[in-house]
Amino acid sequence: MSDAGAGRTVTRHELVAPPGAPRLDLYIAGALELSRTQAATLIANGQVRVAGRSERASYRPSAGERIVVEIPPPAGREVAAESIPLAVLYEDDEVLVVDKPAGMVVHPAPGNWSGTLVNALKGRGGPLSEVGGDEREGIVHRLDKETSGLLLVAKSDRAHRMLGAAMSRREIVRRYAALCWGHLDADRVTVDKPIARDPRDRKRMAIVNTGRAARTDFVRLARFDSVDLLRAHLHTGRTHQIRVHLSTLGHPVVGDDTYGGGGGRRLVPLPSKRHFLHAAWLRFRHPVSGAPVEVRSPLPPELVKALAAVAGADDSFVDIDPLEHFGFFRDTA
């Protein structure tokens, strides 16, 4: 649905209430990763319909009730094109894949109106999909600010819609290299727990029964004295998903100040505000040709240094790719 006057997009969500759902504002806040105030405002403004009717914020949905939420675009603000270098590892007329550095925010938002990936993409020139609106031109999925690695960008609306559908069908394979504190109970662990905003701290995400479904598969590639090197396979794309799932296992990502992994920088030398999480492997079918596309990103130097420190002096990785060395790319399932 479009706001014709502004040329911007209204986002429409269709939800089905689960058994035991909380009051309407809390359910919408958890399901759509909004604050309770934002959810209540949408309800008050008539942008929430429960089985086709308006309800109060305190209404408790019945199991199976269909809830439609329409979120209007934020107040318009022009996103400037900025000359910021980008590492583009794949590009054609429809899509490109960027190797995002740690510390870069993906799209503009309050507090980060410049220096973002979208600013940099606009600075390159050339077409970008407008499906997500001006602040999110071309963005198919996101990476956290301090997570580095591969990010898929759509250059046309057609490509964006098809990639979005493929993402919903879980046909785009995204695998991350992660270092976690301690040791998993097994070499292969799957976490399948719903995620939503932490009701006690809106800046964090948490495991919430009424949250959105989230599944991550973890494979241990190497075990060191105090940490495990993991490959994480995302089946869904919730905010902070890998970080929350590892934290709930009691093995947070090394360097993750938000979810309990921020200490121990003497053992694992990482820069301040940098966690060990890197989107290293991306596989998808081209949205137009259908041809398979595979892109790989090596570990950034600061993560190579940290991994070498925990692996021991004999493994400095000067002449080898540490991800290849530990078999990160071997399992294509």
The whole-number pLDDT of residue 206 equals 94
List of residues 6+ apart from 165 with CB closer than 8 A = none
DSSP letter at 54? -
Same CATH fold assignment for domains 2-71 and 87-163: no
Q: Which fold has domain 173-325?
A: Pseudouridine synthase (3.30.2350)
Residue of 25, 99, 134, 144 with catalytic role: 144
CB 58 within 8 A of CB 247: no
CB 250 within 8 A of CB 269: no
* Average pLDDT of the chain to the nearest whole number: 90
CA 237, 235, 305, 99 torsion-angle sign: negative
pTM value is 0.81
- Judged on CB neighbours under 10 Å (0-12, 13-18, 19+), 225 is exposed
List, in sequence order, every beta strand (DSSP E) within the chain: 2-3, 8-9, 11-16, 48-50, 66-71, 87-91, 95-100, 148-154, 173-181, 188-192, 195-198, 201-207, 215-223, 227-234, 277-285, 292-296
* Cα gap 197→240, rounded to integer Å: 10
CB 129 within 8 A of CB 157: yes
Position with higher pLDDT, 239 vs 2: 239
- For residues 206-218, one letter each, b for 16 or more C-beta atoms within 10 angstroms of the residue's C-beta and e for the rest, the string is bbbebbbebbbbb
- The answer on pLDDT for 319 being more than 90 is no
From the list 217, 219, 220, 254, the residue with the least C-alpha distance to 236 is 217
Q: Among 5-9, 20-24, 50-54, 167-171, name the one with the lowest average pLDDT.
A: 5-9
80 three-state secondary structure: coil
CA 116, 118, 119, 125 torsion-angle sign: positive
From the list 70, 69, 75, the residue with the least C-alpha distance to 6 is 75
Structural domain spans, the chain: 2-71, 87-163, 173-325
In sequence order, what are the beta bridge partners of 88? Answer: 98
- Judged on CB neighbours under 10 Å (0-12, 13-18, 19+), 101 is middle
**H or E segment at 142?**
none
Question: What is the CATH number assigned to the segment(s) 2-71?
Answer: 3.10.290.10
> 87-163: which CATH number, 3.30.2350.10, 1.10.300.10, 3.40.1190.20, 3.60.40.10?
3.30.2350.10
CB 97 within 8 A of CB 295: yes
In sequence order, what are the beta bridge partners of 277? Answer: 178
Q: Among 131-140, 174-183, 255-264, name the one with the lowest average pLDDT.
A: 131-140
319 token code pair? 């002449």
DSSP letter at 111? T
- The answer on pLDDT for 31 being more than 50 is yes
List of residues 6+ apart from 41 with CB closer than 8 A = none
What digits encode the pLDDT tens for the residues 227-238?
A: 999 999 999 999
* Cα gap 186→244, rounded to integer Å: 18
248 token code pair? 């709930």
pLDDT tier, 34 (very low <50, low <70, confident <90, very high otherwise): confident
CA 274, 225, 242, 321 torsion-angle sign: positive
List, in sequence order, every beta strand (DSSP E) within 72-139: 87-91, 95-100
198 is catalytic: no
pLDDT tier, 6 (very low <50, low <70, confident <90, very high otherwise): very low
The residue to which tokens 């991306």 are assigned: 282
What digits encode the pLDDT tens for the residues 178-226?
A: 999 999 999 999 999 999 988 888 789 999 998 889 999 999 999 999 9
Mean pLDDT of 129-158: 92
Please give the share of the chain, as a percent, with pLDDT higher than 90: 71
Q: For residue 284, how many other CB atoms are within 10 A of its CB?
A: 20
**H or E segment at 122?**
helix 117-124
